[in-house]
Amino acid sequence: MAKDNLLGGSLWDAYSNKVTTLMNNPQHQGEITEEEAAAHGNKLIVADFGAESCGDAVRLYWEINPETDVIENAKFKSFGCGTAIASSDVMTELCMGKTVDEAVKITNIDVEKALRDDPDTPAVPPQKMHCSVMAYDVIKKAAGLYKGVDAESFEEDIIVCECARVSLSTLQEVIRLNDLKTIEEITDYTKAGGFCKSCIKPGGHEEREYYLVDILADTRRQMDEEKLAAAADAGALGDFEHMTLVQQIKAIDAVIDESVRQFLVMDGGNMEVIDIKSSDDNIDVYIRYLGACNGCASSTTGTLYAIESTLKEKLSQKIRVLPI
């Protein structure tokens, strides 16, 4: 089938050759009957899953050896678009020869990557990523039927971005560890929100329980509250000199976040603590300026004095701040 007969121009080019081939010539489409499975001494599992957002549906047939739990044969029927057919075909192929426990670990990302012509080029446009998600969900459904458990029991965490399989805990951890402040940064780090975009904010093609905008706001608020609490605790301790190195760095970061960093960021810069070295007379705090602050004339005069004065006031009069 000629590409121009189905989709116009650049959109059709967003599909890999493997996807377009399997759309029209799937290798594992069909069904397995109870009689066929029984003839091989195997158990037949038939699982159905439908995507409410697009109306597509897939039926998955597993022929499982009950002694080894190995999926010895698999077929599918797909009721939907060509991408759903291609995704279901690859999903079925990935299942064969695996145990049920191994198959349930197959993700939608595995399916999408198996559809690529080369490792670095996505197989489908972002708005069609949900088709591989449907393939992942029907695997869970089949495994649940075989084991006699709910399909959701295979999900260890709350999934926020179905397309990239990014969990709530992962998003919260990445925001904290990397001090992320924008949705674009979250997408760069995790791929969440980079495909169908429904998880970014309300109003996408599929309603979600959790949205990136809310997770970012809530996590940032918690981080700010924790920093203020840490700064308060540091001030209450009144014994900065006897803290461990890790405690000292956390106390300094808390004070900087509370009183200094916002002004550096406003000017396009920032700073980070590199090291702390203590002697009988001084506690030398080595810092590195980032962004616009790096090389700025005031970074060694007024700005440096402001940072040092704030740390002296909040933590210890023995502090000296030294840029490197």
DSSP per position, 31-73: ---HHHHHHTT-EEEEEEEE-TTT--EEEEEEEE-TTT-BEEE
- pLDDT value of position 314: 87
Kindly report the CATH number assigned to the domain that includes residue 48: 3.90.1010.10
Say yes or no: 145 and 248 in one domain.
no
Pair of tokens at residue 187: 């997408």
Residues of the domain holding 211: 156-236
Contact 138, 49 (CB under 8 A): yes
Say yes or no: 204 and 258 in one domain.
no
Distance (Å, whole) CA 15 – CA 260: 49
Say yes or no: 83 and 132 in one domain.
yes
- pLDDT value of position 10: 55
Contacts of residues 228-235 at CB distance under 8 Å and 24 or more positions apart, as own/partner, are 228/254, 228/258, 230/254, 231/255, 231/257, 231/258, 231/314, 234/314, 234/315, 235/314, 235/315
Say yes or no: 249 and 212 in one domain.
no
Say yes or no: 36 and 128 in one domain.
yes
Residues of the chain under the 70 pLDDT cut: 1-11, 51-54, 127, 130, 155-156, 230-238
Kindly report the CATH number assigned to the domain that includes residue 243: 3.30.300.130
- pLDDT value of position 235: 54
Say yes or no: 231 and 244 in one domain.
no
Say yes or no: 15 and 131 in one domain.
yes
- pLDDT value of position 321: 96
- pLDDT value of position 233: 62
Say yes or no: 182 and 276 in one domain.
no
Say yes or no: 41 and 132 in one domain.
yes
Read off the DSSP letter of residue 182: S
Residues tagged active-site: 54, 131
- pLDDT value of position 147: 93
Q: Which of 154, 181, 201 is the last residue of a domain?
A: 154
- pLDDT value of position 3: 42
Total number of domains in the chain: 3
- pLDDT value of position 204: 79
- pLDDT value of position 46: 97
Say yes or no: 250 and 201 in one domain.
no
Say yes or no: 140 and 165 in one domain.
no
Say yes or no: 82 and 214 in one domain.
no
Supply the DSSP string of 84-129, one letter for each residue. Answer: HHHHHHHHHHHHTTSBHHHHTT--HHHHHHHT-SSTTS-SS-GGGT
Q: Which of 124, 154, 184 is the last residue of a domain?
A: 154
Q: Which of 236, 261, 278 is the last residue of a domain?
A: 236
